[in-house]
Chain A
């Protein structure tokens, strides 16, 4: 119960922070969006339509002529309440430029981002588990060293270096895959490899140290003593226990994946939330879109983390008991 209350409190704060973010914009958002050439009438109309003429919050502390600040109650009719209302109505406010509900724009782009994140996760896991097991089983050998170098490369090469390099090799030089867009099924290969590279490196290291740790446990000796093949020992016993910490990391990394997707989507013109945020939101100064995207990504992240926590508890009864 306490955990759920905490979760609600965190979500409330995140929404509040996102709501108030637009107050950070230096100057007048109306001028930023419409440009210096807009007439005062146009600016006024714009402010009215998007509620920018109303107070920002319930209260404020404006300066008087002498420069001293005084507390002032601004009433319920403010932008903070407006944004909450728009969230509860399910439209997240309207885009400053296209006047479409931000929620619709997010809904259009959301599947592409989830598709990319899931594909990246699958690629990362399918590389990391066999490689990590191989390295852990053959600790200190050449195989282990090669796996370690691979992992280090994956961690230190950022996606915006890997991505363009993959484009150079597979699109420019070999001409096998297209450099950007989301039209053909094969278009997801380069973006998901780019996004999954860092995660696969982190997971490889995790799986390796997990396998090494588990191999020293008593139950492994028992399993070997009763004559199980090494394959069975590793894949049926060691891996099952060794994967528990890995599951947590996967859950925690999902947020990194979602944030990383912003960069990957920009590299490959992948039409997901990240591209919506960077091009339509930040690029065109459509602050409502920025607010909506930040909110959507954060809430997805919080949900993924809570889900991981539940799975973790379910996987390892020791945590449930304590």
Chain B
């Protein structure tokens, strides 16, 4: 593993701990407004200062980690499982299944810019955490499906698969016991980059008012609330802290993804 991926893993571990132990780390109330305390600069009582309604930014950033990671983990897990199933079907059986799936379905999903499809879905379904997760899964699974299809196409020609078939193994056994475990490595890279993408998409949709409804402490919502001119003038830290939180999380998952890719592909290691 290279240095950057170790930094990435460390950051993710810290964010994970923060998210799990949020109520013990941030003792201030995330929703309590107090106009007499608004626009406070970072100080001993409010480590990250307060926002335009006097809420504690540190507590909101800490609890925001929960939302981000929750969305990221669910979206990546569901997309990866669904994508793997469809990709494996297309790659293993080929023929008309592959023509319909990879020739048509994948292309249709890729014909929309991902974020636009998510925005459209949430716009029509209505805002909310579950709908947001659903929309992100809808745009997410195709990437995994295409990846796994390519991998399965390659692995299915290997000798050990032919040997298993000669021994009388059934399709399901060949696919799940022999092919998939050997095809799944790049999925880990994709999943790591997918976490970065999901965290970013959640924040983007929440920023647009289509994700987690305020006053929930989503990082995207916090940035949306902090960008009016009077808040920018009086309390730029209200923008900076959630911004740094998003950037660090995305950066960390990108570091891990890049590091894993390099680790798994020795040709890149030399570069």
A residues sitting closer than 8 Å to B (CB atoms) are: 6, 9-11, 13-14, 17-18, 21-22, 24-26, 152-153, 155-158, 160-161, 163-165, 167-168, 171-172, 179, 209, 212, 255-256, 258-260, 262-263, 266-267, 277-278, 281-283, 287, 290, 294, 297-298, 301-302
Contact = CB atoms under 8 A, between A and B. Distances in A.
Contacts of B113: 255-256, 258-259, 297-298, 301
B89 interface: no
Nearest to A285: B123
A160 B220 CA distance: 8
Contacts of A17: 108
A290 B115 CA distance: 14
Given A161-B239, A255-B113, A277 B247 contact: no
A298 B243 contact: no
30 contacts: A13-B104, A14-B111, A21-B121, A152-B251, A152-B254, A155-B251, A155-B254, A156-B246, A156-B248, A158-B200, A158-B204, A158-B247, A161-B246, A164-B223, A164-B226, A164-B232, A167-B229, A167-B232, A172-B232, A255-B113, A258-B113, A258-B116, A259-B119, A260-B115, A290-B123, A294-B116, A294-B119, A297-B113, A301-B111, A301-B112
A199 B119 CA distance: 21
B124 interface: yes
Contacts of B121: 21, 24
A13 B108 contact: yes
B42 interface: no
B233 to A, nearest CB: 5
A155 B197 CA distance: 11
B205 to A, nearest CB: 10
A21 B208 contact: no
Given A158-B200, A179-B229, A298-B111, A24 B208 contact: no
Complex A-B, nearest 10 residue pairs according to Cβ-Cβ distance, in ascending order: A259-B113, A161-B243, A255-B113, A156-B251, A24-B124, A164-B227, A259-B115, A156-B250, A282-B123, A259-B116
Interface residues of B, number: 44
Contacts of B123: 281-282, 290
Given A9-B104, A164-B227, A167-B232, A25 B124 contact: yes
Given A24-B124, A168-B236, A263 B208 contact: yes
Contacts of B120: 18, 21, 290, 294
A6 B107 contact: yes
B3 interface: no
B203 A158 contact: yes
A164 B233 CA distance: 11
Contacts of A258: 113, 116
A282 B123 CA distance: 6
A298 B123 CA distance: 16
Contacts of A161: 223, 239, 243, 246-247
Contacts of B111: 10-11, 13-14, 298, 301-302
A171 B107 CA distance: 42
Contacts of B144: none
